[in-house]
Structure 1
Amino acid sequence: EGCFGLGGLYDEGLGTTQNYQEAIDAYAKACVLKHPESCYNLGIIYDRKIKGNAAQAVTYYQKSCNFDMAKGCYVLGVAYEKGFLEVKQSNHKAVIYYLKACRLDDGQACRALGSLFENGDAGLDEDFEVAFDYLQKACGLNNSGGCASLGSMYMLGRYVKKDPQEAFKFFKQACDMGSAASCSRMGFMYSQGDAVPKDLRKALDNYERGCDMGDEVGCFALAGMYYNMKDKENAIMIYDKGCKLGMKQACENLTNLRGY
């Protein structure tokens, strides 16, 4: 723990001059003693802070994973799925690392497995029951993407019986965890009275939450509400934000409102 703590001070420049080499030396001593977070932090340094050391990053992420650090396993899963860190893309290896990370209660890894099984990616057969189970676990581990995916399943009746109330429950969980799109979906449900009593004030509030977190659909819907309320100034401001987030229709509406 002493070497790990010292490594952290040099790594972050806390109370001393930031010095990655000193951090590496300290973390390496702790990693040899099977301190998983030290191995993981070495991976981070070689991955993100000292360029051109992808192989070293993989080595230390692997060590952290071997010592049952879920984050290390998850990062390796992403690397093999996407072909990052100069590793040869391998869906098979990605699944192996995601499985271990998920067993170690990493919500992101469970979410990734849910998506792979849902879509039949990574050489896996589509298995909706398995996908649902992994997404449920991800959501239970406070992964917003897992909760949002469950909400979409229930909203669309995809692989499960359509249940807007269950959908709303999962969208709310995801929104509270920071899923911008889920906040916007709640806004839509309030605007339509779908599974919840129609409430335009709550619709506006949730569209605003989604927009503030960067969801262009939420911005577009929010601007439309302001326009219908004859609040041109706010409509222009929010359409402008939606346009900057990449929504073409928001750009067109903005141009029309500005009159040029």
Structure 2
Amino acid sequence: MRTHGCLSPLVAGLWLVAACPAAQETAAPAEPPRQCEAAECNTEGMLALGLQRPDEALRLLDRSCSLGHAVGCSNLAGVLRGGVGGAVKDPPRAVGLYDRACRLGFAEACATVGTMLAEGTAVPADPPRALAMFELACAKQDAFACFTAGLFFETGRGATRDPGRAAAAFEQACGLGHATGCFNAGILIFDEAGGRPGDNARAVELFARGCAGGQPAGCLRQGLAALRGVGTAVDVGQATALFARACEGGDGDGCELAAQLKRSRGRKVEVALTSRAPTLTMAGLTVHELACRMPQTDPLALAEALEGVAAHKAALDACAPAGAAVAVVWSYRGGRAGQVRVEGADPRLAGCVRKAVERARSSLAASCAATVLIGEAVGARKALADRRSAAARAPAPAPVPAN
């Protein structure tokens, strides 16, 4: 009798149909698994990730990277950096993979390495190496990296403070379409009192490019140059239009100056502007969201405003040795700090910080506000992150009823 399989004994009297040796000999040999090419592996890996198959995604992206695909390396790094799709987080390996993607020509990966090393949250902070990565990305025409390298040189982070190199990096970012880079480059080049021939005209051109790119502060500074006739011809009409444009873009100084010009009817306008820095370090004291309203418009004024407070860093650190991030408001009048307020801190900490800041001295006439990092650096950065997280979760204020 012919059977369609082979009988294998299990126990007495029972049989099971199994594959016959003869059939195995005549079947076509199994093909080896297909190996995808670099770009294809990257595509398939990202598809597997979307289908919640992290092991398959990691295998495919790893092959893509090993074959020299820059974006594949960067995608693999992204998965490991954040534990995307259920993969196990591995930030140190992610840094190495981003670095490989960078060396393979992917500028965005260079900037990502710089950001991770600058933040110091997922991996230990390394400002000098972070700056080197931002410079490498900038050389590959990444506007964000050029701008960030400019911030590092401007504040002396990761290297000696160098306004000239900062201006060059900001100007390169400007050429790549970064409007705030245009503005920052102009600020560092502009010197109303004693600029080198042609520098103020060049700065005004940079302000104009920033304004055209949607940076209202560029419109404000271009308008101020036109009002004073520095780097360009005096043109009160153009200044008024530029202040109005800055105001429309959300710049409060532009609104104030536009209103002042309207009220002045040709009389001289006393100018006070708000200068800002996202982060600034002086004498070891780091602050975030620094803003000072003052008549001085030179690039060193903000540093001078912080320098008076930074002189008392030891007293500030003693207020919170484990680290804290405190919001401080203060003014300089008559050579000394006054009207000091510490917001959102417990009374003991607030009182200690207030006394330290009241010891600050400066020749400026200014009103300033900043979030000041004090005490142990890691604890201070964590406190800053917690503060920002709480602010992001806070509900929007209720609308004010109409009268």
Shorter chain as denominator, the TM-score bin is 0.5 to 0.7
**Counting strand residues as a fraction of each chain, which structure ranks higher?**
2
Query: In the alignment, which residue of structure 2 is the partner of 1:107?
Result: 143
Unmatched tracts of structure 1, length 5 or more? 12-17, 230-246, 250-260
Change (3 A) 1:188 1:8: farther
* Counterpart mapping for 1:72-151 below 5 A: 72-84=109-121, 86-122=122-158, 124-151=159-186
Q: Deviations over 1:189-241 (max 9, x none)?
A: 33444433444554344334434444343344445567779xxxxxxxxxxxx
Q: How far apart, CA to CA, are the structure 2 residues paired with 1:176 and 1:165?
A: 17
Query: In the alignment, which residue of structure 2 is the partner of 1:258?
Result: none
- Which residue of 50, 69, 75 corresponds with 2:106? 69
Query: In the alignment, which residue of structure 2 is the partner of 1:183?
Result: 219
Query: In the alignment, which residue of structure 2 is the partner of 1:172?
Result: 208
Compute the displacement of 1:143 (Å): 3.0
Q: How far apart, CA to CA, are the structure 2 residues paired with 1:158 and 1:148?
A: 19
Q: Any idea what SS the aligned residue of 2:190 has?
A: helix
Q: TM-score, normalised by structure 1?
A: 0.65
Q: How far apart, CA to CA, are the structure 1 residues paired with 2:82 and 2:256?
A: 35
Q: How far apart, CA to CA, are the structure 2 residues paired with 1:79 and 1:164?
A: 36
Q: How far apart, CA to CA, are the structure 2 residues paired with 1:5 and 1:222?
A: 54
Identity in percent: 25
Q: Any idea what SS the aligned residue of 2:161 has?
A: coil
**Counting helix residues as a fraction of each chain, which structure ranks higher?**
1
* Counterpart mapping for 1:150-169 below 5 A: 150-156=185-191, 161=196, 163-169=199-205
Q: Any idea what SS the aligned residue of 1:217 has?
A: helix
Structure showing greater radius of gyration is 2
Q: How far apart, CA to CA, are the structure 1 residues paired with 2:127 and 2:83?
A: 27
How many aligned residue pairs are there?
224
The aligned amino acid for 1:70 is: A
Deviates more, 1:75-84 or 1:35-44: 35-44
Q: How far apart, CA to CA, are the structure 1 residues paired with 2:46 and 2:240?
A: 44
Q: Deviations over 1:2-34 (max 9, x none)?
A: 4445566788xxxxxx54657945655433332
The answer to whether the 8 Å contact 1:151/1:171 transfers is yes
Compute the displacement of 1:64 (Å): 1.6
Q: How far apart, CA to CA, are the structure 1 residues paired with 2:120 and 2:129?
A: 11
The answer to whether the 8 Å contact 1:128/1:159 transfers is no
Q: TM-score, normalised by structure 2?
A: 0.45
Change (3 A) 1:88 1:248: closer
Q: How far apart, CA to CA, are the structure 1 residues paired with 2:81 and 2:259?
A: 41
Compute the displacement of 1:168 (Å): 0.8
C-alpha RMSD of matched pairs (Å) = 3.9
The aligned amino acid for 1:33 is: L
Correspondence 1:41 to 2:75 = yes
Q: Deviations over 1:83-120 (max 9, x none)?
A: 14x11111222122123222323233233333333433
Query: In the alignment, which residue of structure 1 is the partner of 2:280?
Result: none
Q: Any idea what SS the aligned residue of 2:102 has?
A: helix
The answer to whether the 8 Å contact 1:3/1:29 transfers is yes
The answer to whether the 8 Å contact 1:147/1:173 transfers is yes
The answer to whether the 8 Å contact 1:153/1:159 transfers is no
Q: How far apart, CA to CA, are the structure 2 residues paired with 1:171 and 1:127?
A: 21
Change (3 A) 1:3 1:116: same
The aligned amino acid for 2:73 is: C
Compute the displacement of 1:142 (Å): 3.1
The aligned amino acid for 2:108 is: K
Q: How far apart, CA to CA, are the structure 2 residues paired with 1:34 and 1:176?
A: 40
Deviates more, 1:201-210 or 1:68-77: 201-210
Q: How far apart, CA to CA, are the structure 2 residues paired with 1:158 and 1:75?
A: 40
The aligned amino acid for 1:80 is: L
Q: How far apart, CA to CA, are the structure 2 residues paired with 1:227 and 1:113?
A: 42
Query: In the alignment, which residue of structure 1 is the partner of 2:326?
Result: none
Unmatched tracts of structure 2, length 5 or more? 1-38, 266-290, 294-403
Q: Deviations over 1:161-198 (max 9, x none)?
A: 27432211011122233333212222333344443344
Change (3 A) 1:215 1:45: farther
- Which residue of 208, 215, 232 corresponds with 2:251? 215
Query: In the alignment, which residue of structure 2 is the partner of 1:240?
Result: none
Q: How far apart, CA to CA, are the structure 2 residues paired with 1:35 and 1:210?
A: 44
* Counterpart mapping for 1:11-50 below 5 A: 19=51, 21=53, 24=57, 27-44=61-78, 47=81, 50=84
